[in-house]
């Protein structure tokens, strides 16, 4: 049973086809990169996966069940693209708050919060409130709340955006550790280099449709193509392809 399965999904807003006949399958235990430029339909797809909005058409299932099934929701950890956390809370208070929402008991919340803060590198933030946190620190809070209930599937919307190089390395490592623990990670991104480093498979979205879906090793394996080249090629962005070729010729 696939953690994520989409079949001919469509979603329009007024006359904009945000997602257009999208089909894809994410296999258990893989890191799947959901790539595309701004406005390609990534967040809209994620919102449908989470049951926040309904597709106009098509079939969507998570672990073989409906997106609205409560038992399915429990198996998902979600990190939004932009999170608005209550600014006067401290990191441990926010995580504890989510723990209470998940129905965890006080003792478990306490031990789990301590573990998570170490795992995401926020253990020394002590009395600092979230309003003083940098973008990278808030991203760490976001992943901590997604990890809290030890879900099987992680859906992360643009997790690498706005992170400094060190935070990116840390985050990459965290995602790889999740995979080692048998978890499935589905993340949207326009950071091709990150996707190339950690993904087993990617789909490239253009105007709501998948224009490429395949394993990353196949792309990188022939020595000639990398993910950036494939990306430009399938998006048929002639201008950027030419710039890329000129830069390579100048090397
Ligand atoms: N709630 C909405 N109302 C109207 N248009 C929307 C809405 N959400 C997304 N869109 C449009 O759908 C398209 C895809 O958006 P989105 O899924 O956010 O893209 P991405 O996450 O890939 O940047 C864009 O053209 C966007 O303007
Ligand atoms: Mg988005």
Of ligand 1's listed atoms, the one at least distance from the Cα of 205 is 22
CB 235 within 8 A of CB 45: no
User: Are 204 and 35 a contacting pair, CB within 8 Å?
Assistant: yes
Q: What is the pLDDT of residues 189-208, one digit of tens each?
A: 988 888 889 999 999 999 99
Q: Global pTM?
A: 0.90
* pLDDT (mean) for 87-113: 91
Range with top average pLDDT, 18-27, 78-87, 109-118? 18-27
pLDDT band at 218 (very low <50, low <70, confident <90, very high): low
What digits encode the pLDDT tens for the residues 135-178?
888 888 998 999 999 999 999 999 988 788 888 888 899 899 99
Band the pLDDT of 217: cuts 50, 70, 90: confident
9 DSSP β-pair partners: 22
CB 114 within 8 A of CB 76: no
Q: Which ligand is nearest to the CA of 44?
A: 1
Q: Which superfamily, per CATH, for 1-75+151-215? A: P-loop containing nucleotide triphosphate hydrolases (3.40.50.300)
- Between 13 and 85, where is the model more confident? 13
What tokens were used for 174? 């965290």
Phi, psi of 104 (to 5 degrees): -80, 150
Domain residue spans in the chain? Answer: 1-75+151-215, 84-150
Distance in Å, CA 93 to ligand 1 centroid: 32
Q: Provide the percentage of residues in the chain whose pLDDT is more than 70.
A: 94
Q: Which residue has the higher pLDDT, 217 or 251?
A: 217
In what order do the strands lie in the sheet containing 57-61?
A: 16-26, 4-13, 57-61
> What's the CA gap between 202 and 227, in Å, rounded?
9
Confidence band, pLDDT 50/70/90 cuts, at residue 179 = very high
Residues with CB under 6 A from ligand 1: 13, 16, 18, 36, 38-44
Q: Which of 6, 14, 16, 17 to mutate to test the pocket of ligand 1 (most atoms within 8 A of CB)?
A: 16
Is residue 215's pLDDT more than 80? yes
Q: Picking from 41-55, 66-80, 208-222, which range would have the lowest pLDDT averaged per residue? A: 208-222
- Distance in Å, CA 162 to ligand 2 centroid: 13
User: Could you say which ligand is closest to the alpha carbon of residue 14?
Assistant: 1
Q: Whose CA is nearest to atom 12 of ligand 1?
A: 18
């Amino acid at each position: 049973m696939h953690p994520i399965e989409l079949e001919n999904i469509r979603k329009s807003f007024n006359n904009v086809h945000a997602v257009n006949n999208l089909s894809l399958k994410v296999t258990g235990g893989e890191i799947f990169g959901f790539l595309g430029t701004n406005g390609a339909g990534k967040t809209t797809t994620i919102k449908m996966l989470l049951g926040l909005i309904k597709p106009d058409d098509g079939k969507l299932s998570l672990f073989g069940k409906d997106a609205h099934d409560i038992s399915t929701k429990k198996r998902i950890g979600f990190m939004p693209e932009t999170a608005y956390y209550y600014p006067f809370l401290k990191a441990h208070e926010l995580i504890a708050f989510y723990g209470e929402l998940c129905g965890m008991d006080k003792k478990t919340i306490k031990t789990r919060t301590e573990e998570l803060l170490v795992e995401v590198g926020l253990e020394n933030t002590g009395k600092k409130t979230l309003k003083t946190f940098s973008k990278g620190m808030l991203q760490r809070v976001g992943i901590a709340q997604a990890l809290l209930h030890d879900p099987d599937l992680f859906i992360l919307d643009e997790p690498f955006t706005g992170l400094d190089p060190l935070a990116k390395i840390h985050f990459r490592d965290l995602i790889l550790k999740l995979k080692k623990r048998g978890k499935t990670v589905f993340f949207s991104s326009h950071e091709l280099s990150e996707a190339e480093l950690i993904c087993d498979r990617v789909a490239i979205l253009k105007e709501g449709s998948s224009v490429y879906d395949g394993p990353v090793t196949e792309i990188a394996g022939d020595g000639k193509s990398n993910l950036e080249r494939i990306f430009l090629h399938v998006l048929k962005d002639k201008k950027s392809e030419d710039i890329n070729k000129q830069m390579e010729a100048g090397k």
